[in-house]
Amino acid sequence: MTAIEATEVSKRYGTVVALDRVDLTVPEGEIFGFLGPNGAGKSTFINVLLDFATPSDGSVEIFGHDCHAEGVAARERIGVLPEGYSVFERRTGRQHIEYAIESKDADDDPAEILDRVGLDPTDAEREASDYSKGMAQRLVLGMALVGEPDLLLLDEPTTGLDPNGAAEMRDIIREENERGATVFFSSHILEQVEAVCDRVGILQDGELVAVDTIEGLRESLGGGTKLVITVDDLRNGTVETVRGVQGVETAVEREDSTLEVTCTNDAKMDILVELHDAGVDVVNFRTEEASLEDMFIEYTGSGR
């Protein structure tokens, strides 16, 4: 059974396209990392999953339940750490967990959950609106863990957490996965995703530009080269010209009239020729071996 099945999901706000025909399948048992810079559409996708937003086209299903038409059924087996939430006023941490337990009709022990996410009993009796961002994040993760969900949906889970907290978060993600839960989490930081994910999807400007395993991404990059070209004058259209060359994967404009291009080895010469034909003088160029981090930056930074 598939945990998440998105078919041609689009979301438009007026003329702005937040999601552009996203197709995505996350099988059960997987840890899936959803990568992209801020504003790429990650949150919009998760909002569609949670039925906070209705897709303009296409549909998403969680365990076979349409997220819009059967929202409650779709959310029955999931635990969610949403983004842009706030805790309830005048309720203690413990009451938050109890609310989640009642809502999910679960029989967890609040104390156990709170302990697991690292909130001690004194914190638990305090009003959650007094919590720091990191503590609130732990608390809501606790709410997500209630009822042993089959799918954990975590939107930027490490926001507000210190490195220690982020490591604990990763441990919990692994534990939950070993228990059998599918984990879907979004992040704009590659190393967090790299550390735990079986597969990652990279979202850019509302489009899913890559879905692969970390190794797969490395391999697809293996033959690739990064070319750093400094030109005399970077004009409008130059980047597009380079992108049009066969074998070019990404082309990004950097400061000081510099272009960063990832491409196949054969394409290097073609790029320089193309630039020359376009009347652009190449002042300097060097090649580097592209790393995964580079590739992520290339993918996600090209919107800048």
Partner 1 sequence: MSWDVIARQDWDLTVGERSTKALLGLLGFVIVVTAYVYPIGGSEPYTTGRFAGVVHGSLTTLVPIVGVLLGYNAVVSERESGALRLSLSLPHSRADIVFGKFLGRAGVVTAALVAALAVAGFLVVYPFGELEPLRYLAFVVFTVWFGGIWTGIGIAASIAASTKRRALVLALSVFFLFVMVWDALDDGLTLALDFAGLIDGELPGPLQFYFGLEPGRVFGRLTDGFVDPSATVEGAWYLSEWVALPLFVLWLVGPLGLAYRRFARRDLA
Where on the chain is the footprint of partner 1 (CB under 8 A)?
Answer: 43-44, 47, 50-54, 71-73, 75-76, 80, 82, 84-91, 96, 99-100, 102-104, 140, 143-144
Gap between the Cα atoms of 266 and 268, Å rounded = 6
Residue 235 CB, shortest distance to partner 1, in Å, is 38
Of 156 and 294, the one with the shorter C-beta distance to partner 1 is: 156
Structure tokens at 102: 């009642």
Residue 78 CB, shortest distance to partner 1, in Å, is 8
Of 100 and 172, the one with the shorter C-beta distance to partner 1 is: 100
Those residues with Cβ within 8 angstroms of residue 303's Cβ, 6 or more apart along the chain or in another chain: 37, 40, 204, 205
Of 11 and 226, the one with the shorter C-beta distance to partner 1 is: 11
Those residues with Cβ within 8 angstroms of residue 269's Cβ, 6 or more apart along the chain or in another chain: none
Gap between the Cα atoms of 151 and 168, Å rounded = 19
Residue 52 CB, shortest distance to partner 1, in Å, is 5
CB 138 within 8 A of CB 119: yes
Residue 82 CB, shortest distance to partner 1, in Å, is 5
Residue 252 CB, shortest distance to partner 1, in Å, is 29
Of 157 and 224, the one with the shorter C-beta distance to partner 1 is: 157
Gap between the Cα atoms of 113 and 127, Å rounded = 17
Gap between the Cα atoms of 220 and 150, Å rounded = 32
Of 84 and 222, the one with the shorter C-beta distance to partner 1 is: 84
CB 1 within 8 A of CB 64: yes
